Amino acid sequence: MIIGTAKIYLRANWVHSLKEKRMIVKSIIAKLKNKFNLSIAEVENQDIHQSIVIGIACISNDTQHANSMLQNAINFIEENSEAFIEDVVIEIS
Domain segments of the chain as ranges: 2-92
Length of the chain: 93
pTM over 0.85: yes
Task: Give the model's pLDDT for residue 26.
Answer: 92
CA-CA-CA-CA torsion sign (12, 81, 37, 89): negative
Query: What would the pLDDT profile of 11-28 be if each residue is shown by its tens digit?
Result: 988 888 888 889 989 999
Helix (H) or strand (E) holding 68, with range, is helix 63-80
Helix, strand, or coil (residue 12): coil
Mean pLDDT (the chain) is 91
Query: What would the pLDDT profile of 41-78 be if each residue is shown by its tens digit?
Result: 999 888 888 899 999 999 999 899 999 999 999 999 99
Task: Give the model's pLDDT for residue 63.
Answer: 92
- Fold (topology level) of 2-92: Alpha-Beta Plaits (3.30.70)
Task: Give the model's pLDDT for residue 86.
Answer: 92
Task: Give the model's pLDDT for residue 53.
Answer: 95
pLDDT of 37 higher than 90: no
E strands present in 19-83: 39-44, 51-60
